[in-house]
Structure 1
Amino acid sequence: MRQLGPDHIDSLVSIKGMVIRCGALVPQLQVAYFACTLCNDSQVVPIYASYINEPVICTHCKQKYTMQLIHNRSTFSDKQVVRIQETPDSIPDGETPHTITVYTYDDMVDTIRPGDRLQITGIYRATATRCNPRKRTLSSVFRTYIDAIHFTILQGVDTKLSKIPELSRRDVFETFAKNPATYETLVASFAPSVFGMEDVKRG
């Protein structure tokens, strides 16, 4: 991860790291479907590098700025943002760990969790950022990320929750109702950081 530099942009790279954060699943447009609001003619535009090349002129009626994006006719894919950090054994003494953003797609989304150690293969990308969202001026410092193509889980997280058998909601309620200390448990769950004052918590 530390060896990645400007020479590796738009190149196939492979890194090892540990997952420290997984974002929510979001839809990403893959093929945009545009329809003319005047003649209803359609155009299909593929997406490259997350940019939509919106058609300006309708190829049928030759009118400008009449093409409208039709969401339910377009093609979307799943996307998830994952934050990867260097593994503790690869960090030099006295150095802070490096991190990088990885974008996963389709079958790769929602298959890893924080703590997993991975080997990721993907395309090293760089994108420009704006100095001010209201201006067109771009910053000279680019933001880098990796478009994941494949990853291998080298070491997964073994949590205790995976060993607990799933119970139905009815079983949980019945077990809770049979407990003679149910009322005291409910009282203790109100403002647990406040010691005592059980009479106030009972209402």
Structure 2
Amino acid sequence: MKPVVRSICIGGLLLALSGCNWTSENHPSLSGTIEAIELPIVAEVGGLVTNVTIEEGSAVKKGQVLVQIDKRSYQITVAEAQAALDQATARLEEARAGSRDTTIQRSMANVQQANANIQLAQARKNQAEAGKARAAEQMTQTESQWQGAQQTLLYHQKRLEESTALFEKGAISAKDLDTQKEAVSQAKTQADQWAAQVAQTQA
């Protein structure tokens, strides 16, 4: 677990523990701030997303395919390189049949260049696949943080409802009620930030 994520989890646990002893006179209330972290995603290659296999908020597993990118651009590049290789090979065979040394050497060079183009196209395809996998992993982490922030918000909202009822009965002070309202506000800000990050990641 990354240090930032671990800090967020510990902060949420401290808030939860403080909320459990809210009405106890022997334990003072605690409050804290959860800071968000942005996870920028930079695409290494361009591509059109043709299919999204999950829905927003869905649980995902490591290695699960989340989105599919149109591979036609890479396939076309590979096909073009293969066609050039075939053409160069044909010229080489033609040159060998005519015993023309200069033409043979030129044709061999063309074949080597065609092979190099195929390897380059394949390397770019592999790079695109790796970039897609990293982007999917980052999206999984971002959605996990968002779900955690939503759960924290729901917890503080419930505590606020309880605190409001206690305040109306005179069981807690206005300051205690304001503290719980601030906890809800901070949790909502946190959840909104992660929601925006999820939207940006999906885009």
**TM-score, scaled to structure 1:** 0.19
Which protein is richer in helix relative to its size? 2
**Per chain length, whose mean CA-contact separation is higher, i.e. which structure has more relative contact order (CA < 8 Å, sep 6+)?**
2
Structure number, greater radius of gyration: 2
**TM-score, scaled to structure 2:** 0.19
